Structure 1
Amino acid sequence: MCKEVSIIMPNYNCLAYLPKAIDSVLQQQDVRFELIVVDDGSTDGSLEWLLQAEKKYNQLRVITQPNLGVIAARNRAIKKANSQFIAFLDADDYWYPSKLRKQVDFMLANRNCGLTFTNYQHVDMQYQNIIDCFSYWPEFKKYRDANNTNYQLLANALNLLLIANVIGTSCVMVNKEIIERAGGFDPSLRSASDWDCWLRIALISEIGFCEDITMDYLMRPNSITANKQNRIDAMAEITERICTLGNVEPTTRRKANARLLESYGEMHREDGDLSTAISFSYKAFKEYPHKRHLKHLCSDLKRLAILRVNALCQV
């Protein structure tokens, strides 16, 4: 029987989380699917566990590769996928049982929609709720109707997504033809390859979303795979690329540039370099005046003043 969805799950040393993630796939209701897990050179016993699971579940296909990274794993699985639609799930996340059916139905009814996504919940290591994704992004507020749980097309998707990455990879479903036409995940990027891919899809197709919280995203300590400098530098490269290729509004470009400047400021703030953080916060506020930038600027100036007064008092 033809599969409706190919589910792609990269795995690197996630043995502690794999059973929960895979069980959440197997519990999907009224959907014909295949699950492609690409083991990226794991050394924690993951591959051995997966090979045993493959014997047990006929929906599961295991592909192995040396440690080439998540981009290579996803791109390889996309080529192997046998379905019209592809859904992504990271090995340390998990879905709610009704996640796929509603998403498939919307994409079947909206052939010009190349990507859909849902809301999701951030949870801590005890699986306690932290905050849902959509509420984290104030820029997304005007697009939302919390009482509407149906899928809807996202107006002006490219301009929104360039300033607010509200798309969590593990709640995405894409049309295979569209993601291949967009070029898949860019292996030249050292970080933010998922955001880059969604933006390139937004250049060539419509984007849909739903208010439903359909998955939990586990906030693991030290789970970021690239350092902050790499991520922000990649964001800067992606922003410039998309602004060159797409019909990006001038205001959106200023907001995106201000967001990058504030990200650099946040990085230096966390490193304890308040003078540099202040410089970036000022540049961000000058590029696009926003109360968030002003708040950070005032807070940093206050902290720096206190530090300097304390230093003088100790002389």
Structure 2
Amino acid sequence: MNDLPTLTELKVLAAIATHRSFRKAADELELAPSTLSHMMSGLEARLGTRLLNRTTRSVSPTQAGERLVERLRPILQDLYGALAEVDASRDHPRGTLRITASETVSLLLLRTVIPVFLSRFPEMAVDLVAEPAFVDIVAEGFDAGFRLGEEVPRDMVGVRFGGASRMLAVSSPSYLEGRDLPRTPDDLSAHHCIRTRTPNGRSCKWEFERHGQVVVIDVPGALILNRAELMTEAAIRGLGIAFVPELVARHHLEAGVLTSLLEDWCPPYPGVFLYYPGHRHVPAGLRAFIDVLKAYPEGSVSVGAPRPLSA
């Protein structure tokens, strides 16, 4: 074959096959969707076979396109790894680091690690995508992601961020005035609770555990919010009891504007981890980010009280 596809064409094909969308692939590659469409039409004409099925609403690879993309992905990964090794030989890392995390962790990173990282490594950029649901970081083109320790896939490398954490029931002292303190999770049925929902719209139940006994409660409450920070703020305002990550409420607990409840029913869990593919070469930018991340000792991270390290 005399007219081989260009590297750009192969990257475009892989991105379209991953996203099943010209628009999303164009956003990733910073090109116009029409440019991607014309590029793929030209590639198909030169190869003499259709690689993509197109409709007015969707795009998907054909069998030939899918086979080609499956062979391309490891080749492109090896190429990116080789280029990353070249970049790693530089004195200062440069480029863009793509990371995905929940909104809560994203806010935490913006108040702690990211300012220090960008200050120390001015040739780096951070593309942080806050997603309510976990994504496949390899398929979506992320360098790393954040999730709870027990949810890190086995084929990924995990780096602890901020130590162990737990969910806590919290309320303002003003809300508790004149009310009986809940002594067990069942006592929550007599209180106003600030509820939340899963991404698919179902009400989230509150789960407690003590001495091996697990209690799951579908709490009552007239207020439903979709972010832990909003639930914490509602609790501060005296609107009821919220069940939120300790790292979100810690500063407010220390300041005395919130009170923790049912602490002996709120066991710790491993906490948040950064994770990345274990089989890939680690880019210099990600290594530098991990170094900054590790500088935060366990228990020092709090959403409400940003304490950045000196650059």
TM over 0.5: no
The answer to which structure has the higher helix fraction is 1
Q: TM-score, normalised by structure 1?
A: 0.31
